[in-house]
Amino acid sequence: MQLPLTGRREFVARLAGATVGALCAGLPAAVENRWPDERAAGPWLFHADYSLEELRPLVDELAQLQDDLINDLQIEATRESIHVFLFRQKSTYQSYMRHFFPNVISRRAMYIKRRGPGMVFAQHSEELPIDLRHECTHALLHGALPLVPLWLDEGLAEYYEPGQANRSRNHPYQNTIIWRTRLGQVRSLKSLEQLNELAEMGKAEYRDSWAWVHFMLHGPQAGRTELRRYLADIANSSPPGDLSARLERRIDRLPRAFADHFHSWS
């Protein structure tokens, strides 16, 4: 579904699956067969080639993740179940992805969606909790909304990467952002809104997208209110315009308010 928009820039239809580029038409054939361990939790249908018992706390946490997004962003619950495929060995994971998704650049974890239900794939590693929170955030957003702008999609996924207790503080980006705001070296929201291709998202773009999400969720109340209204317009297929313009109308001297937020946060 493509959302009709007005203005000099439009969303691109690709955004619904921006996280991975080349996508699949539906579930891999392997999902028709039972995996060594499978279970349901919240909107998730887990399939693993090893026991999920050792991941029980993480499975429970991911079941809570949807409630966190609903409470924070005031979006609806995902309209579909989301499959999560987990692999113990890196080699097995890579072989599986090459077989079913030969045109997708392999990473430790990824979210894939086209016409069928959303799918998250991940190899087991020390970073698995972070990887799953990130990719599952993408899955929940695209299960609830017809489109998500690239910068916001990635900024929200970065925000929800840490465990719940560490989202507002102690993020790895926090100290860097505090110093870069003092030097005026954080990208403006307007410039982030121009990003349309995942290849344009480097480390700085992920970091700065996170910073604007943090500002909206923990800065002036008007920021959170406008973010929620913006997402509600998208959900209702009402042209939302640019979020930067909406924030500028609600928050006086937006760049200064952004910088002051992180100065006080330190």
Tell me the pLDDT tens digit for each residue of 149-172: 999 999 999 999 999 888 988 888
Superfamily of domain 19-147 in CATH is Collagenase ColT, N-terminal domain (3.40.30.160)
CA 172 – CA 107 distance, rounded (Å): 20
Name the token pair of 190. 């307007």
Q: What is the DSSP string of 15-64?
A: GGGTTTSS--SS--GGGGSPPSEEEEETTEEEEESS-SGGGHHHHHHHHH
Rounded percentage of the chain residues whose pLDDT exceeds 70:
87
What is the pLDDT at residue 248?
97
Q: List the domain boundaries for the chain.
A: 19-147, 164-265
Which of these, 188, 226, 235, 198, lies nearest to 77 by C-alpha position? 235
Separation in Å, CA 112 to CA 11, 25, 103, 126, 265 = 19, 10, 12, 22, 35
The residue ranking higher by pLDDT, 24 or 221, is 221
* Residue 190: band (very low, low, confident or very high) from pLDDT cuts 50, 70, 90: very high
What is the pLDDT at residue 27?
54
State the average pLDDT for the chain.
Answer: 87
What is the pLDDT at residue 9?
26
The residue ranking higher by pLDDT, 66 or 184, is 66
Task: Looking at the chain, list the stretches that DSSP marks H as alpha helix, in order from N- to C-terminal side.
Answer: 56-73, 90-100, 128-144, 150-159, 174-182, 189-192, 203-218, 221-235, 243-250, 254-265
* Residue 177: band (very low, low, confident or very high) from pLDDT cuts 50, 70, 90: very high
What is the pLDDT at residue 218?
96
The residue ranking higher by pLDDT, 20 or 45, is 45
Question: pLDDT tens, 209-264?
Answer: 999 999 999 999 999 999 999 999 999 999 999 999 999 999 999 999 999 999 88
Which of these, 78, 91, 85, 80, lies nearest to 38 by C-alpha position? 85
* 120: Cα separation from own chain's centroid: 12
205 in Cβ contact with 151 (< 8 Å)? yes
Q: Is the pLDDT of residue 28 over 70?
A: no
* Residue 84: band (very low, low, confident or very high) from pLDDT cuts 50, 70, 90: very high
63-67 average pLDDT score: 94
What is the pLDDT at residue 131?
97
Q: Is the pLDDT of residue 14 over 90?
A: no
pTM: 0.86
